[in-house]
Amino acid sequence: MNELFLKRMKDLLQEDYEAYLNTLNNKPYRGFRINTLKITEEDFFHTFEIECHASNFAKHAYVLDTDEHYGQSLPHALGLMYMQEPSAASAVEVLDPKPNDWVLDLCAAPGGKSTQIAQYLTGDGLLVSNEIESKRAQILLSNIERLGISNAIVTNSTPEKITKLLHGRMDKVLVDAPCSGEGMFKKESKALEDWSEEHVISCSLRQRHILQCAIQALKQDGILVYSTCTYAIEENEKNVAWILETFTDLELVQIQVKWGKEGVQIGNYPTHYTRRILPMDEGEGHFIAKFRRISPNTLNSLDILKSDKLTPSIEKFIKNETSFKENILLKNNRIYAGKHPFYDFKDNYVLRNQVLIGEVIHDRFEPHQHAYTSVLFAPTLNNVCLCDEKEVELFRKGNILQKPVPKGFVGIRIMDQFIGFGKSDGSIIKNKIPKGLRIR
């Protein structure tokens, strides 16, 4: 372990330092959330046996009591669970999104907090999940799809561009900022290898830039939550003090929870209103601060996209294979469905605008996986349930199924949960599950 880092931790923790040192020899805490958009907690534990106990940090969150891995498990594939370090669920609990809120997750990949926000929205409201790095944005998108989220717009844009577009519109904004990752040292060796005081300072400056952008998106009385997975004061309380000094239209809200510890006092600023989580609290480490915008903000208007004329193949699919009756958009040969209008995000690159139903390829309509995992759209589709364990395994491996069902595209359910789809010729279902979701 880096000696300079340990000295900084000793200065920070003081009487808690020895307890922290003792945690360095322990395995990192692991946890998961149950996706209540698709299943109740009661039904989840009635169906699946997982050694765990409830986490203190958030609703629907659990700490694993086993070394078993669940990334290839059936409940994971069905989008019924999301693997998440326990303390990472704390920030959204503090943000407390409500149904009908508009929420911006500005640094959203890989998607743990965005999918948690979507659970709190319960299918209502609008979630904008943004990630600046294109590869990480694709991971974010895959998790949005897998968990069946239907009211999210996923963007791959800069903080400046996306917050300019959403200026004054958002009820809640989350900045789970890129950081030095001191709370991830046991899990990610690269975070430890990259650590230096210079890196900490560099991260703090980057975080200030992101926060300055985020504030622009808030409406009056809107809530901003700033979180990191690091312990460094420069990235945490000192950034909070900087916000309070720089932006007089924000006030710091005291976080009133039973877990963690108060933040470190910086000058005359009430930075003790923030919250710190340490490994002694049954989480690897998190910092959370909560702000409220107390002044009015100018509202940027959003244009609504107009749909291209639906092709005969799309109209046939909608008429014959789905009962969906809400908004439909055809743009650039891609067809989307959603509860909300389809807003024009201008020069922000949009990876997903609510639910991607499918694409028109050579005048032929081809459905998309998201249509069959979406909690909004999938229940309206023709489908068949696989009850035999061998059939389930065959499908998850990408094999065809010998099953007499009506011709056409058909959703595949396992344990009454959609996992993907296939195309039937009447007796055989050709597997359409994406290769990246198949098991060996």
Phi, psi dihedral angles at 142 (to 5 degrees): -65, -35
Question: How far, in Å, are 138, 313, 418 from residue 366 at the CA level?
Answer: 21, 9, 18
Q: Which amino acid is at 386?
A: L
CA 414 to chain centre: 24
**Binding site residue list:** 107-113, 131, 176
Q: How many CB atoms lie within 10 A of CB 265?
A: 13
Q: How many CB atoms lie within 10 A of CB 255?
A: 19
Closest CA to 317 of 257, 382, 261: 382
Closest CA to 231 of 200, 273, 253: 200
Q: Which amino acid is at 236?
A: N
**Binding site residue list for S-adenosyl-L-methionine:** 107-113, 131, 176
Q: SS3 for 18? A: helix
Determine the length of the chain. Answer: 440
Q: Which amino acid is at 158?
A: T
Question: Which one from 52, 213, 229, 385 is the annotated catalytic residue?
Answer: 229
Cβ-count burial 160-178 (b if 16+ within 10 Å, e if not): ebbbbbbbbbbbbbbbbbb
Catalytic status, residue 203: no
| Cα–Cα distance measured from residue 372 to residue 370, given in angstroms and rounded to the nearest whole number | 5
Q: SS3 for 254? A: coil
- The residues annotated as belonging to the active site are 229
